[in-house]
């Protein structure tokens, strides 16, 4: 389900949260940034300023979009502050929210394995299409990210989540769904999509 968009698209993941540090599943829970995460958001902003300049783009030449979850909106605000831009001048779009892990949210992977025997193996066997109880599959997530992309005109900056990065790597980065399972999604770095591929800087 690849989608062609006028590129480049500049993506960065929210900074570290306390849940990230604990290895706890957040999904669509609204969790705050840690002090490390706030610093990572500023670093993403500095990398973004350089990447825009290298592409011959100014802040007014791109659309600015973020997930409405606070860890992501705050990351966007901190990144913009590092670029000396007004912090709140961006759009929040629910289609950029993290994948919902349903009843698995607020749990660690060992807790999930204990409470839902066999479920972790079932997910591994069908990573892209598996839905946790009351949650979403990556195919579901990719469909709503695709809907977001359909409305984007021209270059864009997106602050979002690890699951959304995986969806974008399939939609814009030329990877197959099987290629993105377990792929590291870095915090404090930039993922630039152009010419049908994604690269980290």
Contact 144, 163 (CB under 8 A): no
| Tens-place pLDDT, residues 31-56 | 999 999 999 999 999 999 999 999 99
| Low-confidence winner among 11-15, 106-110, 193-197 (lowest mean pLDDT) | 193-197
Residue 98, C-beta contacts closer than 8 angstroms, at least 6 positions apart? 26, 27, 28, 67, 69, 160, 161, 162, 163, 164
What pLDDT, in 10s, does the model give residues 66-94?
999 999 999 999 999 999 999 999 999 99
Q: Say if residue 168's pLDDT is above 70.
A: yes
E strands along the chain, which residues?
A: 9-13, 63-66, 91-92, 156-160, 191-194, 197-200
pLDDT confidence of 4, banded at 50, 70, 90? Answer: low
pLDDT in tens, 11-30: 999 999 999 999 999 999 99
Q: Where is 144: in which H helix or E strand?
A: helix 138-150
What's the rounded Cα separation, in Å, for the pair 72 and 159?
A: 6
**110, 113, 114, 117 alpha-carbon torsion, rounded to 10°:** -170
Q: What mean pLDDT is reported for the chain?
A: 95
Q: Where are the domains of the chain?
A: 9-194
The CA distance from 38 to 147, in Å, is 29
105, 25 contact by CB (below 8 A): yes
- Superfamily covering domain 9-194: Phosphoglycerate mutase-like (3.40.50.1240)
- End-to-end Cα separation, the chain, in angstroms: 26
């Amino acid at each position: 389900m690849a989608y062609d968009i006028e590129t480049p698209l500049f993506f960065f993941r929210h900074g570290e949260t306390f849940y990230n540090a604990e290895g706890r599943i957040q999904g669509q829970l609204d969790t705050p940034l840690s002090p490390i995460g706030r610093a990572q958001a500023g670093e993403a902003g500095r990398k973004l300023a350089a990447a825009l300049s290298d592409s011959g783009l100014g802040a007014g030449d791109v659309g600015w979009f973020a997930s409405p979850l606070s860890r992501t909106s705050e990351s966007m605000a901190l990144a913009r502050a590092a670029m000396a831009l007004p912090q709140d001048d961006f759009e929040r779009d629910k289609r950029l929210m993290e994948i919902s892990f349903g009843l698995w949210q607020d749990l660690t992977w060992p807790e999930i394995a204990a409470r839902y025997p066999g479920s972790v193996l079932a997910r591994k066997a069908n990573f892209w299409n598996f839905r946790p109880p009351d949650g979403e599959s990556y195919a579901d997530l990719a469909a709503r990210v695709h809907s977001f992309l359909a409305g984007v005109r021209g270059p864009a900056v997106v602050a979002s989540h690890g699951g959304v990065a995986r969806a974008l790597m399939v939609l814009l980065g030329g990877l197959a769904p099987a290629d993105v399972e377990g792929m590291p999604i870095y915090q404090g770095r930039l993922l630039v999509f152009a010419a049908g591929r994604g690269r980290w800087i």
